[in-house]
Amino acid sequence: MRAYERLLTYAKMYTTSDETSTTHPTTMRQFDLAKLLVEQLKELGLADARVDEHCYVYATLPATAGCEAAKGLGFIAHMDTTDSAPGENVNPILHENYDGGDVVLPGTGDVMRVSDFPFLKEMKGQTLITTDGTTLLGADDKAGIAEIMTMLERVIAEKRPHGKLCIGFTPDEEVGQGADLFDVEHFGAAYAYTVDGGDAGQIEYENFNAAAVVVTVHGVSVHPGTAKDVMVNAQNVAFAFHAALPEFDRPEHTEGREGFYHLCSMQGTVTEAKLGYIIRDHDAAAFALRKQEMVHIADRLNSFYGAGTVELEIKDSYFNMLEKIRPHFHLIENARKATLAAGLTPDENPIRGGTDGAQLSFKGLPCPNLGTGGFNFHGPFECITAEKMDQCVEVLLNLVELYKA
C-alpha cells in the first residue's frame, strides 16, 4: 500500500485537539485513530503495539539478526489536527495527473491559485490531494503517520536488515502538549526523527525558544465625572504596555531567525485588563533579553501608576533543539545522505515554531524533524501529492539502512 492511500483513511477520522481542555488527551476522539494504528501495527507484526491511557501509541520492531548492536532509532508523528479550520467530515479530493494550474475546491468554489501558491507548478503531472474546501486535510500530521506506517510495511515485506525501530504516535501536538507525557524511557530509542515538516527533503533542527506571557493590569474605577487624579483605566495602561514593545518586532514584520513579540489576545474593563503574548527567538541570549524587556516595561509602568498595577506571568514553553542536536549531529548528516539518496535536495531552514521533537530533545531524546511533502497546513488550502509522500518514505527507508549497524 502506498502512503497516500493510508492518508486518505486517516484524514477522514476526526482527531482535532482542544487547547481549552484540561484532560489528557484534550479530546477523546483522538483514541479512534490511536486504536486503529495499534491494530495496523500488530497486523504488521509489531506485537507490543499499544495505546496508553493518555493516547500515546508505542510500538517496537525488534532488530534483525546481525543488527542487534545498533542503537534504537525512533520515528514519531502526531495524530491530532489543529482547530484553526474544521477537521470533521474531511473529504479528500484526488487530482490525478494534475495539470499545474489553478485548482477549484468543489465544496466551496474557492480557488487555489498558482499566483498565490507558486509551488503548485512543480507538482504538474503528479497526483495532487486537496480537501473539498470545507475543511483542512489533516496531512499535518497524518501524512507523517502514513509515511512511517508505509516505511514499516516495506521494511518487513522486503526483509530489509534493520536495527531496533521504535514507533511513537502522539496526541495534542497542535496545542503544544504532544511531548508532555511521552515516555522516553519506555520508547526505547537512542535518538529519533519526527516526521512533521513541510515539503519532501526538509530537515529541521533549529526552532524558536518560546515563552507565553500573561500581562494583568489592575485599574482603579470611579465615576468618570470625578475621575481626575483618581481613576486608573486598566485598558489604557495595557495599551501603554503594548505600545512600549518594538513595533517591528512582530510576526508580520519578521522572518528567518528573527524573533518577535506576538499579541495573541486582549480583554479588559476599567478595573482589569489582560494581554496574552507569545515570545519567540532562535537565539537564547536574545530570547532572555525579550523576557527582560517585558519585565522592564512592567516595572516602569508600576513606578508611574503604583506598585502592583501591572503583573507579569512568564512561562517558558520550549527551547531551541539545536543545543541538544549538536552533540548528535550524525542525525543531520545521515538525514542529508538519506535525502540525497531519495533524489531530493536537502532543505535546511530554522523552524519558525516548535515541534514535539524540540521538547523531546530536552527530555533526552535528540529528535530533528523531517518533511512530509505537504503544504498550506492549518487551512482549507492544505495539499500534498502522492509522489512527494513516496519520496518521504524513501528518506525514512534510507535512514533505516544508515542506522542498521
Of 173, 204, 382, 390, the active-site residue reads 173
Of 80, 83, 172, 174, the active-site residue reads 80
* 269 backbone dihedrals φ, ψ, rounded to 5°: -135, 180
HEC readout, the chain: CCHHHHHHHHHCCCCECCCCCCCCCCCCCHHHHHHHHHHHHHHHCCCCCEECCCCCEEEEECCCCCCCCCCCEEEEEECCECCCCCCCCCCCEEECCCCCCCEECCCCCCEECCCCCHHHHHHCCCCEEECCCCCCCCHHHHHHHHHHHHHHHHHHHCCCCCCCEEEEEECCHHHCCCCCCCCHHHHCCCEEEEEEECCCCEEECCECEEEEEEEEEECECCCHHHCCCCCECHHHHHHHHHHHCCCCCCHHHCCCCCCEEEEEEEEECCCEEEEEEEEEECCHHHHHHHHHHHHHHHHHHHHHHCCCCEEEEEEEEECCCHHHHHHHCHHHHHHHHHHHHCCCCCECCCECCCCHHHHHHHCCCCCCEEECCEECCCCCCCEEEHHHHHHHHHHHHHHHHHCCC
Distance (Å, whole) CA 144 – CA 196:
6
Distance (Å, whole) CA 185 – CA 334:
24
| Catalytic annotation present for 172 | no
| Catalytic annotation present for 102 | no
Active site positions, annotated: 80, 173
